[in-house]
Structure 1
Amino acid sequence: MEFRWLKQTNAAEAIVVFGGWAVGPDVFDHLKGPQDVLFVSDYRNLDTDLPDLSGCDHVTLLAWSFGVAAYAHWQEGHADPFDRKVAVNGTLAPVDAAHGIPPDVMAKTAEGLSEASFVQFLRRTFNAPQPPRVIDIDARRAELHAVAARGAAPAVVFDQAWISGRDRIFPSANQHRAWEGTTIRELPTVAHAPFDHFDSWQALIS
């Protein structure tokens, strides 16, 4: 796992973002708020400890896409530092025909990964053309294989799950099945990456 502070001011509140695959933190650049923000990425292994968050009065988890299951697997071997947990367009079973990304889709994505296919992935993620992004093909393919091999995560209770109706990565019907019994908030016309529909961190985590 890799960590990057997007904002670090010794604030009383912190948000830890377990991000999605290969997209990076710039999708959050426009979000405003007083909270410090730590971005987590690269789920090839989950052995790393989070930075010390004990000085914060309140810590929230925001887990997006593969970050949902990655967090839950990571949590199994660590003390829970979070007061609130919010999932966005991801599930605890990331590669699953009924509750996540269908296994055949995941396999084709990994085996066929190229700069051209990554451009297509980004288009599906945002439901719109995107500027080119740099991708380390070998590293990101290894990450996909690791996510698939890890399988479904241990059960972790999330306080809320956002589900986008136009998610072309995690089918919304699968997400609804996966989050049965959890408080769900829907974004009916929004893509897998919904963050441009928010202007503040608080709007995402409340």
Structure 2
Amino acid sequence: MEIRWLKQTASPEAIVVFGGWAVGPEVFDHLAGDQDILFVSDYRDLAADLPDLSGYEKVSLLAWSFGVAAYGHWQRARADLFQRRIAVNGSLTPVDREAGIPPVVMQKTIETLSAASYQRFITRVFGAGQPEAVIDIAARQEELRAVAARGAAPDPGFDHVWISEKDKIFPAANLKRAWAGHRITSLAAPHMPFAGFSSWQELLA
């Protein structure tokens, strides 16, 4: 796991973001808010602990894409830090034909990962063409294999689930099955929906 502060200003409130696969924190740069922001990525292993957050009056969790299952696995062995948990376009069963990314798609992504296929992936994530991006192919293949090998994560108790109807990574129908019984809000957005939000508070609603 890679853990880094995106913003640290001694705010009384912090948000911990478990990000997605091979997409950096820049997708959150435009979001307004006074909260301190801690960003977690790289799920090849889940052994790392977060920094001490006990000084905050409130700590919220936002998990996106593969960050949803990664957080579920990570939290299982640790004391609960969060007053609110939000899931965005991800599943506790990340590789699943009915409730996640179909296994055949995951396997093909691993086997054929290249600079060109990653660029196509990023285009699907954003729903539009993106500037050329750089990827560490071996590391990201290792991460995908680790995600698949962990399997289903326990439900840590998400308070709200955002699901994008135009998601080309996690099929929206699969996510709706995965989160049946939870509070769900649908978005007319791609897998990366954050451009449709202006503040962290909107996402944590």
Tell me which interval the TM-score lies in, with the shorter structure as reference length: over 0.9
2:6, 2:37 within 8 Å by CA — same for their partners in 1?
yes
Instruction: Note the alpha carbon deviations across 1:77-131, whole angstroms, 9 max, x for none.
Output: 1111000000000010000001000000000001100000000000110110011
In structure 2, the residue matched to 1:205 is 204
Structure 1 CA distance, aligned partners of 2:15 and 2:182? 21
Secondary structure of the corresponding residue to residue 181 of structure 1: coil
Does residue 1:164 correspond to 2:187, yes or no? no
2:32, 2:198 within 8 Å by CA — same for their partners in 1?
yes
TM-score between the two structures when normalised by the length of structure 1: 0.98
Structure 1 CA distance, aligned partners of 2:181 and 2:99? 14
Does residue 1:83 correspond to 2:83, yes or no? yes
Secondary structure of the corresponding residue to residue 31 of structure 1: coil
2:60, 2:83 within 8 Å by CA — same for their partners in 1?
yes
In structure 1, the residue matched to 2:174 is 174
In structure 2, the residue matched to 1:43 is 43
Work out the number of aligned pairs and report it.
205
Deviation at 1:134, TM superposition (A): 1.4
Indicate the percent of aligned positions where both proteins have the same amino acid. 64
TM-score between the two structures when normalised by the length of structure 2: 0.99
Name structure 1 gaps, 5 residues minimum. none
Note the aligned Cα RMSD (angstroms): 0.6
Structure 2 CA distance, aligned partners of 1:157 and 1:81? 12
Alignment of 1:8-23 (within 5 A): 8-23=8-23
Runs ≥4 residues deviating over 2 A = none
Secondary structure of the corresponding residue to residue 161 of structure 1: strand
Structure 1 CA distance, aligned partners of 2:51 and 2:178? 30
